[in-house]
Structure 1
Amino acid sequence: MVLEIRGLRVGFDVPSGRLPAVAGVDLTLRRGEMLALVGESGSGKSALAMSLVGLNRGPRTHISGEVTFGGRNLAEASERELRAVRGKDIAVVFQDALAALNPLHRVGAQVTEMMRAHRRMPYGTAMDRAVELLGEVGIANPRASSRALPHQLSGGMRQRVMIAMGLANDPAVLIADEPTTALDVTIQAQVLSVLRRASADHGTAVLLITHDLGVVAEVADRVAVMYAGRIVEQGSRDEVLFNPQHPYTIGLLGSVPPIDGPVADRLPAIPGSPLTGVDRPGGCAFAGRCAFAEDACTEQPELRHRHGEPGHLDACVLPDSVRRQARGAGPDPQPERPERPERPERPEQLEQLEQAAGTERDLVRNEKGRA
C-alpha cells in the first residue's frame, strides 16, 4: 500500500457558510495500480486530490483526517514538508496544460525544474534527462521539441509534457486530474497509453480523476465513485461497471448513450441536480434524486461489502429486490458481464506501438551521443 486515506474532510468557507467538498473519504492506493475516481462535476474529486499534497490549503480551507504516505500524515504536514514531497514522491498532472505551463519558458527547461528542485543535478544532465522523458511520453523529435514554448505545441503534446514533468523524479504516486479533457479520441488513447505504461514500467500508483466512463473502462484497475463529497461505491473495474450496486452508479452507467441498438428520442439522464449548497440533508446524499429512495435512506449509509467480490463496497441500504429493479429500470439496462475475445487486429496495433516507442528511444540515444 502506497497511500492510505482515512476520514478525509475538506471544507471551504463561503459567504453562506462552510461548503463540505469532501465529507469523510476512505481510500487506499497500491503500487502499480490505476485507481479511477469518478463522478459528476462538483462531486469533490479534484478537491480530494489537491488536498493530498496541500495544493488547496488557505485561510478559508479546512482539511482534517489522515493521508498516510511514507509513515507520515500529510494532512498535518507543514508547507515545508509538503514541498519536499510534491513533484518528488507525489506528482500532479493538471487538467489544463496550457494554463499549468509557464508561457514564457521553454518546455524542456520546465521539465528540468522538477529534477533540479529535488536533486543536485547539473543543468546539462537534467536537460538530457528531460529530452529522454519527452521521447518516452511519445513526443516526436524530443530535442527540438524541448526548445518550444507551450503555445507552439498541440494540446496533446502539452499534456505529454505535463506527464513528463510528473514522471521526472520517478514518483511513487501520480495524480492525473482529467488528463484527457478537450483532447480528441486519438490523442486521448495515446495519453492514456503513456499513463498505463508509466504505471506498469515504474510501479507508479496512478490516481486518475475523470468523469469519462470510457476512459475508466480502458485503463482503470479499480474504480471509486464519488457523489456529494462521499465515496458511494468502489471495487474492481469490472465489478463496478458490470455489477453496479449503488443507484448513482447505475444512473451514471445508464446515462452513457449506447453505441448500438435503437436510437432514443432523448439522451438518458439522472433527474435533478447535484448538491451544491452548504446545507446538506441527513442520510444518503443521493436520496433526493433516487427514484427508489425509502424511509431508511434518511440514515447515513455505511460504505461496506454487500454483494460481489470482497473488495466491492457500496453505500446503499436498499434491499436486493429494489437494487435489481433499479438496474433494470433505466433506459439502457446494464448487460451481463461480456466475454471479451481478443480482437485479431489488436496484437498488431500493440506491436506497432512498441516499435514506435523503440524508435523514439533510439532517436533519444543517438541525439545524446551526438551532443
Structure 2
Amino acid sequence: MTTVLSVRDLKVEFDVPAGRLPAVNGVSFDLFAGELLALVGESGSGKSALTMGLTGLNRGPRTHISGTADFDGTDLVAAGDKQLQRIRGAGIAVVFQDALAALNPVQRVGKQVAEMIRQHQPVSSKEAALKAVSLLRDVGLANPEQSARAYPHQLSGGMRQRVMIAIALANDPGVLIADEPTTALDVTIQAQVLALLKRMQREHGSAVVLITHDLGVVAEVADRIAVMYAGRIVEIGTRDEVLNHPRHPYTVGLLNSMPRIDGPRPRRLAAIKGNPLTGVDRPPGCAFAPRCDLVQDECLEQVPPLENQVACLRAGVA
C-alpha cells in the first residue's frame, strides 16, 4: 500500500491560564492511499487538534506543534504558511462539521466552489463555474444549476454539507479530512452523507480521515480505526480488529457503552467510570489508569508505548 501521509511523534500543545495543555501528545501513524481511517474517542481526546495541527489551521502564538508529518515530500509541521496555503484545498482538504459557519453567508455557493477551483487551477471564471455545477451534481444535489445560485441559508443542512464536500473535492486532493461531517444532521441524511464520502473516496481515490465519536458511523464506513484518549492513540487496527476484537480497556469500554440490537436487552448501558482528562496535569503513567478496572502498580508508573497496535500493559485482558 502507498503511504500518502506519515506522522511521527506529533505534539500539539496550547498555552492556557493553568499552563501548557497537551492536546496531542506524541501521535504516530501512517495513512494509506484510498483508505478511510476513522479517529474515534470522547470529546477532548485530541482528534480535531491532531488534524488541524496537520493542516496548520490551529497555528498561533499560543500553539506549539512539534514532530513530523510527511505529505508528498513536505513536512507539514515545518512548512511555512505559504506552503500550507498551496497544500490546503489541493493536496489536503477539510470538511468541517458546521457547514453553515464554514460557508460564506453572503456569497452564492456555486461561486464558493468555483473560487476553490480557481485558487489552485489555471482556468477561466466560466470554466470554473461549469466545473462547480458539475461537482454539485456529483455530490448528489438534485438541481445543481439552481443550487449553485443559492446562498447557504437557502439550503438544508444536508445540502450544505454536500456543498462542503464538493469544495473539498474541487482539486482532487490526496487526503480528505472530514471533521464530524454528520453532526446535527438527522439519521437519514447522515447515512446519505456517509455513503457520499465513501463513493467520493472510491471515485477520486482520496484517503479519508474521518473524525467522529459515533461508533455506529465507524462500523459502516471505516477501513481502519484509531482510538484516541488524552491526546494519544491507544489502539489502531482494521475495523474488524478494533470492533470485534478490542484489546485496550478504553476501546472495550466504548463498545460496551453502545446499545446493541442483538442479544438480551440490558437494564442499563455500561459506562466508563470517571471523566476524561482535560487539564494540563497528566498522571505519570497511563492516562487511562484512573478509569481502568484492570489497573496495576506498573500502569501508574509507565506510559505504555503503542506496540503491536495497542498502548496498554494489560492489552487483551479485558
Coarse TM-score class (shorter-chain normalised): over 0.9
Provide the rounded CA distance (Å) in 1 between the counterparts of 2:5 and 2:312.
26
Q: Which residue of 1 aligns with 2:82?
A: 80
Q: TM-score, normalised by structure 1?
A: 0.84
1:302 paired residue among 286, 300, 305: 305
Match of 2:48 in 1: 46
- CA apart distance, 1:91: 0.3
1:283 paired to 2:285:
yes
**SS state of the match for residue 279, structure 2?**
coil
The one of 156, 160, 164 aligned to 2:158 = 156
Tell me what 2:148 maps to.
146
Show the 5 A alignment for 1:305-320.
305=308, 313-318=309-314, 320=316
1:24 aligned partner: 26
Distance 1:20 1:78, change over 3 A: same
Look up the equivalent residue of 2:310 and give its one-letter code.
D
Tell me which residue corresponds to 1:108. 110
Aligned partners of 1:108 and 1:131 also within 8 Å:
yes
Could you say which residue in structure 2 is the equivalent of 1:209? 211
Whether 1:98 and 2:94 are equivalent positions in the alignment is no
Please report the TM-score for the alignment, with normalisation by the length of structure 2.
0.97
Please give the secondary structure, in 2, of the residue aligned with 1:52. helix
Aligned equivalents of 2:291 and 2:124: distance in 1? 57
Shift of 1:259: 2.1
Q: Is the 8 A contact 2:225 2:237 kept in 1?
A: yes
The Cα offsets for residues 168-216 of structure 1, whole Å up to 9 and x where unpaired, read as 0000000000001111111111111111111111210000000110111
The answer to whether the 8 A contact 1:155-1:183 is kept is yes
Q: Is the 8 A contact 2:136 2:163 kept in 1?
A: yes
Task: Report the Cα distance in structure 2 between the residues aligned to 1:245 and 1:81, rounded to whole angstroms.
Answer: 40
Is the 1:257–1:268 Cα contact (8 Å) retained in structure 2? no
The count of aligned residue pairs is 315
Deviation at 1:98, TM superposition (A): 0.5
SS at 2:202 equivalent? helix
Deviation per residue, 1:278-326 (Å, 9 max, x gap): 0100111000000110111121101111xxxxxxx10111165xx1xx2
Looking at structure 2, the residues matched to 127 and 268 of structure 1 have their Cα atoms a distance apart, in angstroms, of 52
SS in 2 for 1:314: coil
Q: Check conservation: 1:66, 1:75, Cα contact below 8 A.
A: yes
Cα distance, 1:266 vs structure 2: 2.8
Q: Is the 8 A contact 2:247 2:315 kept in 1?
A: no
C-alpha distance after superposition, 1:70-98 (max 9, x if no partner) = 11111011101110100011000001001
Q: State how far apart, in whole Å, the 2-side matches of 1:300 and 1:262 are.
A: 38
Q: Percent identity?
A: 66
The answer to which structure has the higher helix fraction is 1
Correspondence for 2:6: 4
Q: CA deviation at 1:131?
A: 0.5
User: In terms of Rg, which structure is larger?
Assistant: 1
Structure 2 unaligned regions, length at least 5: none
**Which residue pairs with 1:238 in the alignment?**
240
Determine helix, strand or coil for the equivalent of 2:105.
Answer: coil
Q: Distance in 2 between matches of 1:267 and 1:220?
A: 24
Per-residue Cα deviation, 1:24-81 (whole angstroms, up to 9, x for no partner)? 0001111100000000000000000101110000000000000101111110111011
Matches within 5 A, 1:330-345: none
Instruction: Find the residue that maps to 2:21 and give its secondary structure.
Output: strand
Pairing partner for 1:129 from 105, 128, 131:
131
What SS does structure 2 have at the residue aligned with 1:257?
A: coil
